[in-house]
Homo-oligomer: A and B are copies of this chain.
Amino acid sequence: MSDERPEPGTVRPGGRTAKVREAVLRAAGDALAEDGFDRLDLAEIARRAGVGKTTVYRRWGTVPGLVADLLTEMAEESLPRTETGTLLGDLTAQARLVQSTLSDTRQGPLFKALITAAACDRQTADALHRFYRIRTEEWAPCVTAAIERGEVPEGTDPAEVIRAVSAPLYYRLLIGGDPIDRAAADRAALAAATAARAGAFAVRTANG
C-alpha cells in the first residue's frame, strides 16, 4: 500500500528515453494532423516513430494521455511577439498569427485534433487550458501597454481582450466552417480593439 511507482521515463531520462519521447511526440503530431483524433491508433504511431508499441502503451497508455504530453511539450516553445505601438496594430498582428496557424495545412487540423482530444478527456483539457493560458499571458502585455498609453480604460482585463481576438477564428475552425482568411482576422482584431477602447472589457466598478 505504498509503492506509487514513478511515471516511466522520469527516473532515467537519459539519451534513449528522451529520443523515444521526441520521436513519439513528433509522430503523434503528424498522425493527429493527417488522420484526426478519433482515427488515431497508438500502434500506428509506434510504427511511425520506429518504436515498439508496448513502449507507447506503457508510457502514455491512451490517446488522450499522449496528446496531453504533446500539449505540455508545445507549451514550452514560445512565439515571438510584435510591438507596433498601437493596440489595433498589435491585435492585428496577433489575429494574423492565429489565422495563419489555423489555416495552415498541418497546424489547422492539428489544433482541431488537440481541442477535440481535450473535449474527451479531463487530463488533456487541463493541458490545453495551461497551453492557452500561457499563450494568452504572452500576448497580454500589448493590452497592458495600451492601458498605460491611455488608449484603453483602466480596469480592462487584458486576457479577455486577447481571447476576444482569437475566439471568432476558432469559432470558424470548429463550428461555422467559414474560411479563416485574412479579412476574418483583421475584422476580429478591429472588433476587439474597438470594444476594448470603448471599455467593454473593463470590470464593472461602481461608476455613475
Please list the residues of chain A having a beta carbon within 8 angstroms of any beta carbon in chain B.
36-39, 112-113, 115-116, 118-121, 125-126, 128-129, 132-133, 160, 163-164, 166-168, 170-171, 174-177, 187, 190-192, 194-195, 198, 200-201
Contact = CB atoms under 8 A, between A and B. Distances in A.
Given A36-B120, A191-B192, 15 more contacts: A37-B38, A38-B120, A113-B119, A115-B174, A116-B120, A118-B174, A129-B177, A132-B176, A133-B176, A167-B168, A170-B170, A191-B200, A194-B198, A194-B200, A195-B195
Contacts of A115: 119, 174-175
B119 A37 contact: yes
Given A167-B170, A194-B198, A198-B194, A129 B176 contact: yes
Question: How many copies of this chain does one complex carry?
Answer: 2
Nearest to A125: B177
18 contacts: A37-B120, A115-B174, A118-B174, A160-B187, A163-B171, A166-B171, A167-B170, A170-B170, A170-B171, A170-B175, A187-B200, A187-B201, A190-B195, A191-B200, A192-B195, A194-B198, A195-B195, A198-B198
Contacts of A167: 167-168, 170-171
Contacts of A191: 164, 191-192, 195, 200-201
Most chain B CB within a 10 A radius of its CB, from A121, A129, A175: A175
A128 B177 contact: yes
A117 B27 CA distance: 23
A115 B118 CA distance: 12
A174 B172 CA distance: 13
